[in-house]
Structure 1
Amino acid sequence: MSVRILALVGSLRAGSHNRQLAEAAVKHAPEGVEVSLYEGLADVPFYNEDIDIEGGVPQAAVALRSATSEADALLLFSPEYNGTIPAVLKNAIDWLSRPYGAGALAGKAVAVVGTAFGQYGGVWAQDEARKALGVAGASVLQEAKLSVPGSVTRFAETHPADDSEVVEGLTKVIAQLSEAAAAAA
């Protein structure tokens, strides 16, 4: 059985180091694990209960919910914006948490990793994402962590996929996530 992991990246910037980290996850996924990078978070409107009604849900939100439902697990890549989670990831979590009690996140194995310029690699944002995911009903792997500090200098000339320390940490998280997803199946 192949485990399907959907990667959501919390930075929309073209040269995002978190996107590069997600690309490294796709490239270095172990045999039997498929990591796919979700495109389209920028198109999902801010969550609004008034538009989250049968027949009125925006197509971008429908597509996000569908892709999440089809995945066995989620891997979120979070930079840190002003000490917390980026709005695009929080918005995705909000859409995926609905309908209440039966959203696409319910019971889904999820891990959060990331990189940031600061000395701690975005741990505050990643912890906030884990908290929001847990409240939203996901099965958050609290011990599956990777926070890479100094992204601007560390990845100035090296793609994360070519950084052996980063690849080792990332493959460990992917293995933990795929084991949790397989156990839940």
Structure 2
Amino acid sequence: MANIVGLCGSLRRDSFNAALLRAAAARVPDGSHVDARTLHGVPLYDGDVEAAEGIPPAVAALKDAVAAADGLLMVTPEYNNSLPGVFKNAIDWMSRPATDIARVFGGKPVAVIGASPGGFGTQLGQNAWLPVLRTLGAAPWFEGRLMVARAGQVFDADGRIVDPGIEDRLRAFVAGFCAHVDRVAGWTAAGSVDTILSYL
């Protein structure tokens, strides 16, 4: 069954998106698993640091986890109608060195979801990730979409979902993505990355 890494693009402890990632991880179908990770410990990208010290341990751990996973679930806030800098910074680090991009991201099924206090539910933030994922050679999943608007009314003070409609949509989304990841894993066992991409 699907082995998925989940990344939350907010560092805030009580982030709606951290709560959404936890909720998604708790609702995967039996046999599948979401390894929920944070971006804490990832420094600002600095080419001089990379040249002098190599890849930071926190980045190397994320890269290895994503490379080993069957899929990647990105849970993104939306800042100023686009993606959050701290999340983009982590992905930029994970794309270094460039020769390692294919190992980490190549053909990797990726789903993007997000929660926002506003009325559009990270629509623009999710869209802003698409050219980044395309550049990395990942394989975004387009069969489902989840944008949680007015998140202050969706989660309680402990980060639990209290909106039955969002509960149902999240469960269906996670089930759909896990099924997709399982299909891609089956294709991987049967052929090359080029063959897999021809199906997507």
- Whether TM exceeds 0.5 here: the answer is yes
1:156: Cα distance to partner? 4.5
Deviations 1:71-119 (A, max 9, x none): 1111111111111111122122212333336421111100000110111
Deviations 1:49-90 (A, max 9, x none): 444459721111111101111211111111111111111221
Matches of 2:180 and 2:46 in 1, distance apart? 32
1:147: Cα distance to partner? 0.4
What are the residue-to-residue correspondences of 1:10-49 with 2, within 5 Å? 10-39=9-38, 41-49=39-47
Identity among equivalent positions (%) equals 35
Matches of 2:41 and 2:31 in 1, distance apart? 31
Say if 1:65 and 1:95, in contact at 8 Å, map to a contact too. no
1:22: Cα distance to partner? 0.7
Q: Comparing 42-51 with 138-147, which one deviates more in the overlay?
A: 42-51
Find the counterpart in structure 2 of residue 118 from structure 1. 118
Distance 1:170 1:63, change over 3 A: same
How many residues matched?
183
- Larger fraction in helix: 2
Distance 1:13 1:71, change over 3 A: same
RMSD over aligned Cα atoms: 2.1
1:112 alignment partner, SS class: strand
What are the residue-to-residue correspondences of 1:142-161 with 2, within 5 Å? 142-156=142-156, 159-161=159-161
Distance 1:33 1:161, change over 3 A: farther
2:62 maps to 1:64: yes
2:180 maps to 1:169: no
In the superposition, the TM-score normalised over structure 1's length comes to: 0.88
Say if 1:3 and 1:181, in contact at 8 Å, map to a contact too. yes
Say if 1:105 and 1:138, in contact at 8 Å, map to a contact too. yes
Instruction: List gaps (5 residues or longer) in structure 1.
Output: none
Distance 1:156 1:179, change over 3 A: closer
Deviations 1:146-170 (A, max 9, x none): 0011112332558444432222222
Matches of 2:95 and 2:177 in 1, distance apart? 20
Structure label with greater radius of gyration: 2
Any runs of at least 4 consecutive aligned residues in structure 1 with deviations exceeding 6 A, and if so which? none
